[in-house]
Amino acid sequence: MKRCTSSIVKSFSQIHGLTVEDTENEKVFPYVWAEIEPKIAGLPLVAHNSPFDEGCLREVFRVYQMNYPDYKFYCTLSASRKTFGKVLDSHTLSVVAAHCGYDLIHHHHALADAEACAAIAMKIL
């Protein structure tokens, strides 16, 4: 696999806090997916801006030459726009989460973002 340039890695590290050292000796996607897939088999997936997340998931499946299972995605961003419309000035994850009662203090950290998305989903989906 092609390595990212140092400026890209630095930029991503600033967003989510992960470094190359955090991931370089970890399992590659097919092995991680083998652990995750049985836990989500048959379930829909929920994401804030799901077209982006689904696109990333599809792309990693393509890179590893794996068959994509066509998961059903629900989008909390789209649902927020429909539900809250102009009530909110912004429909970013942190703004919508706060409106739904979730304090997203570790934005861009996977677990915190997933919990925020779940809090939104439970309110409006």
Q: Is residue 113 pLDDT above 80, yes or no?
A: yes
Domain of 46 in residue numbering reads as 6-124
Letter for the amino acid at 25?
N
Q: Is residue 78 pLDDT above 60, yes or no?
A: yes
| Inside any domain, residue 29 | yes
CB 117 within 8 A of CB 76: yes
Between CA 51 and CA 105 the distance in angstroms is 24
Q: What pLDDT does residue 38 have? A: 97
Q: Is residue 12 pLDDT above 70, yes or no?
A: no
Q: What pLDDT does residue 39 have? A: 96
pLDDT tier at 16 (50, 70, 90 boundaries)? low
CB 125 within 8 A of CB 100: no
Q: What pLDDT does residue 109 have? A: 74
**CATH for 17:** 3.30.420.10
Average per-residue pLDDT in the chain? Answer: 88
| Inside any domain, residue 113 | yes
- 115-123 average pLDDT score: 96
| Inside any domain, residue 82 | yes
Between CA 96 and CA 63 the distance in angstroms is 33
| Inside any domain, residue 102 | yes
| Inside any domain, residue 63 | yes
| Inside any domain, residue 1 | no
Q: Is residue 57 pLDDT above 80, yes or no?
A: yes
pLDDT digit string (tens) for 20-56?
Answer: 888 888 899 999 999 999 999 999 999 999 999 999 9
CB 100 within 8 A of CB 120: yes
| Inside any domain, residue 27 | yes
Letter for the amino acid at 33?
W
**Domain count of the chain?**
1
Specify the pTM. Answer: 0.82
**Tokens describing residue 39:** 């836990």
Between CA 58 and CA 65 the distance in angstroms is 10
| Inside any domain, residue 26 | yes
